[in-house]
Amino acid sequence: MPEADLYCVMGDPVAHSKSPRIHTLFAAQTGQAIRYEARRVPAGQLAGALRAFRAEGGRGCNITVPLKEEAFRLADHPTGRVLQARAANTLWFRDGIHADNTDGIGLLRDLRQNLGWEVGGMRLLILGAGGAVRGILGPLLEQGPELVVIANRTVRRARELAGEFAACGPVDACGFEALAGRRFDLVINGTSASLGGELPPLPEGLLAEGARCYDLMYAARPTPFLAWAAQWGAATSDGLGMLVEQAAESFCIWRGVRPDTAPVIALLRREMGG
């Protein structure tokens, strides 16, 4: 039995991260000898944590809140996706720090392959303009939506983000109040409002016939956003599938083997009691 290669997720908080469970399931399924830990690393301390981890023989890591932008700044070899998002969630070490961002591709795999929801040609509304949205905008725009509107409580942040991605496709920014009278086919909640049991103020009539609503957060019970969407008859999904898909992309980068995500999503869903 070869000695297991060491990986981890770094972030703060990280105690309840599902990444160790997901990667352990992937490793068992594909016969890869890896060990995967969760390490709490406060903002501003990523460089030191990575040095220590590499000294222990660490091969690669996932990066979560609040360190994704810091990881981008520390990367010696960022992929185009990282340069575009200015945020990284997957690192590996070989002649320096390599960095990729698998959040956007993970979301697209969940939307298109698992749910059968297309983005091309759709009127797309994204709620929020923080780190979570930064990672998914480029890959969503690459799908050729008719229009992407970023709505945020702090309109300035939405405008900044739309400005950064203007060259990638038709992207616009506004505050929630300016959504009145507009209609969308796909709405993605990237705010952290659900964490506090809150819902951004959304107008009536926002959802077009057959609209779909996706929350980047996941929970055993519907988030306030998904409960709102279901009440208007929309198809809904939380972000558990995206979580597993972005992990599968990382695993594939590290190990060169693509795990089967469907049984892992189903198992986690059962364990969550959902």
Under the rule (CB under 6 A), what is the footprint of ligand ATR? 65, 128-132, 152-154, 157, 191-193, 196, 198, 200
Active-site residue identified among 18, 59, 68, 134: 68
Instruction: Considering the complex, state which of residue 153 and residue 269 has its C-beta at the smaller distance from ligand ATR.
Output: 153
Instruction: Considering the complex, state which of residue 24 and residue 154 has its C-beta at the smaller distance from ligand ATR.
Output: 154
Return the amino acid letter for 143. Q
Is residue 13 reached through a cis peptide bond, with omega within 30 degrees of 0 on the bond before it?
yes
Distance separating alpha carbons of residues 107 and 266, to the nearest angstrom: 17
To ligand ATR, the closest distance from the beta carbon of 191 in angstroms equals 3
DSSP lists the bridge partners of residue 8 as: 37, 61
Backbone angles phi, psi at 184, to 5 degrees: -135, 155
To ligand ATR, the closest distance from the beta carbon of 215 in angstroms equals 12
Chain mean position to CA 9: 14
Q: Decide if 18 is catalytic.
A: no
CB 90 within 8 A of CB 249: yes
Instruction: Considering the complex, state which of residue 39 and residue 157 has its C-beta at the smaller distance from ligand ATR.
Output: 157
To ligand ATR, the closest distance from the beta carbon of 96 in angstroms equals 26
Distance separating alpha carbons of residues 236 and 139, to the nearest angstrom: 21
Read off the DSSP letter of residue 260.
P
To ligand ATR, the closest distance from the beta carbon of 110 in angstroms equals 18
Task: Give the count of alpha carbons within 13 A of 159, CB side only.
Answer: 5
Instruction: Considering the complex, state which of residue 25 and residue 213 has its C-beta at the smaller distance from ligand ATR.
Output: 213
CB-based burial label for 150 (10 Å; 0-12, 13-18, 19+)? buried
Instruction: Considering the complex, state which of residue 65 and residue 272 has its C-beta at the smaller distance from ligand ATR.
Output: 65
The tokens describing 51, both together, are 């040095």
Strand, coil or helix: 38: strand
Residue whose CB is nearest to ligand ATR in the complex, by number: 130
Pairing of strands 34-40, 90-93: unpaired
Distance separating alpha carbons of residues 193 and 128, to the nearest angstrom: 9
To ligand ATR, the closest distance from the beta carbon of 95 in angstroms equals 30
Count of CB atoms situated within 10 Å of the CB of 92: 17
To ligand ATR, the closest distance from the beta carbon of 192 in angstroms equals 4
| Residues classed as catalytic | 68
